[in-house]
Amino acid sequence: MQPDPEKRAIRAAFGKAALRYDSVAHIQRCIADALLAKCPATVGMALDAGSGTGYATEKFRALGTACLALDHAVPMLLALSGENICGDIEALPLRSACVALYYSSLAWQWADASYAIAEAARVLQPGGTLAVATLGPATLGELRAAFRHADNIEHVRRFMPATSYAAQLTAAGFDGIEIQCKDFVAYASDLRTMLRDIKTLGAHVVGKPRPPGLYGVQGFRRAEAYYHSLREAAGLPLTYDVVFITAQRAC
Ligand SMILES: C[S@@+](CC[C@H](N)C(=O)[O-])C[C@H]1O[C@@H](n2cnc3c(N)ncnc32)[C@H](O)[C@@H]1O
């Protein structure tokens, strides 16, 4: 499992973001919708693992599917009615084989995926469906490149390649595994707005502790100048390399 300080920082960042998360989660909604479209229309109990404010949970419930929302950041769950659980996707507080659908959009990249996979396999009923959207290594690539012009410090989180999942899923007892990658691109008017929106989402924890002071004014200007060279008609592009995973829990 992740070392506690990193997990605490991630939980605190999303907890602080809860009230304003929905106001900036445009790409996150598109990705959640694309993942919902890959789910079976009717199932028994569903789990929305790393639910955030419960966008997908509410969609499932509106369709008549009972759905548990689970997130480790309690403030994310506060505005959501129904049955919601504060818990960790690496160690789910649920009994084995209790859900027919494990749905998770944009949470696995914040956790140790090997634990998340093992827990998904444990709580899914035989024949149950896994539907996950997570982020691949090209995610935020423009921002990573821009910061390379500012200093030599890592400012963007590293994401696991799509190729790393199949063997782990098979070993955990999944079959019918399908993994597809698709780019989603967000646009911002300028670099400051982009960084502010990432912070408003709560998605700014990089992983390793960074020294204070960071790039300074000159470094930031170099990053801005580089990013400006990427500008498109819609604004500064920011790519999300989304990895969609679907699979069945072996019977
Ligand atoms: C980017 S948000 C996505 C929220 C929601 N699924 C959506 O599509 O809008 C990531 C969510 O995962 C949660 N999360 C991250 N790591 C987690 C963990 N180890 N256990 C439970 N939740 C976690 C965060 O608190 C946050 O609410």
CA pair distance 224, 150, nearest whole angstrom:
9
- pLDDT for 220 equals 87
User: Given strand 99-105, what is the order of strands in its sheet?
Assistant: 84-86, 67-71, 46-49, 99-105, 124-135, 236-249, 174-188
CA 52 / ligand 1 centre spacing (Å)? 5
- pLDDT for 208 equals 60
Number of neighbours of residue 176 by Cβ within 10 angstroms: 12
Instruction: Give, for 70, the enclosing helix (H) or strand (E).
Output: strand 67-71
Where do the structural domains in the chain lie, given as residue ranges? 4-249
Question: pLDDT tens across 169-217, in order?
Answer: 999 999 999 999 999 999 999 999 999 999 999 888 776 656 555 677 8
CA pair distance 136, 239, nearest whole angstrom:
10
CA 222 to chain centre: 29
72 lines ligand 1 (CB under 6 A): yes
Q: What are phi and psi of 23, to 5 degrees?
A: -70, -20
Contact indicator for 171, 70 with CB cutoff of 8 Å: no
Residues facing residue 179 across a β-bridge: 245
CA 73 / ligand 1 centre spacing (Å)? 8
Angle at 3 between CA 7 and CA 143, to 5 degrees: 60
- pLDDT for 64 equals 94
User: Which of 96, 54, 58 has the alpha carbon at shortest distance from 73?
Assistant: 54
Q: What Cα–Cα distance (Å) separates residue 84 from each residue in 20, 53, 75, 88?
A: 19, 10, 11, 13
Contact indicator for 155, 206 with CB cutoff of 8 Å: yes
pTM: 0.94
Cβ neighbors of 251 (< 8 A, separation 6 or more) are 126, 127
Angle at 1 between CA 56 and CA 13, to 5 degrees: 50
User: Which of 206, 221, 213 has the alpha carbon at shortest distance from 155?
Assistant: 206
Q: Which CATH number fits the domain 4-249, given the four candidates 3.40.50.720, 3.90.950.10, 1.10.8.100, 3.40.50.150?
A: 3.40.50.150
111 lines ligand 1 (CB under 6 A): yes
- pLDDT for 210 equals 60
**Helix or strand or coil: residue 45?**
coil
- pLDDT for 154 equals 76
With the most atoms of ligand 1 within 8 angstroms of its CB, the residue from 1, 8, 10, 14 to mutate is 14
- Residue identifier of the C-alpha nearest atom 13 of ligand 1: 50
- pLDDT for 151 equals 80
pLDDT, block means (10 residues), the chain with 251 residues: 79 95 96 97 92 97 96 96 94 98 97 97 97 97 91 83 97 98 97 94 73 72 94 97 98 91
- pLDDT for 148 equals 87
47 lines ligand 1 (CB under 6 A): no
- pLDDT for 157 equals 85
- pLDDT for 211 equals 59
CA 247 / ligand 1 centre spacing (Å)? 21
- Residue identifier of the C-alpha nearest atom 26 of ligand 1: 52
Long-range contacts, stretch 201-204, CB < 8 angstroms, 24+ apart: 201/17, 201/21, 201/24, 201/25, 201/28, 202/13, 202/14, 202/15, 202/16, 202/17, 202/18, 202/21, 202/73, 203/13, 203/17, 204/13
CA pair distance 27, 30, nearest whole angstrom:
5
76 lines ligand 1 (CB under 6 A): yes
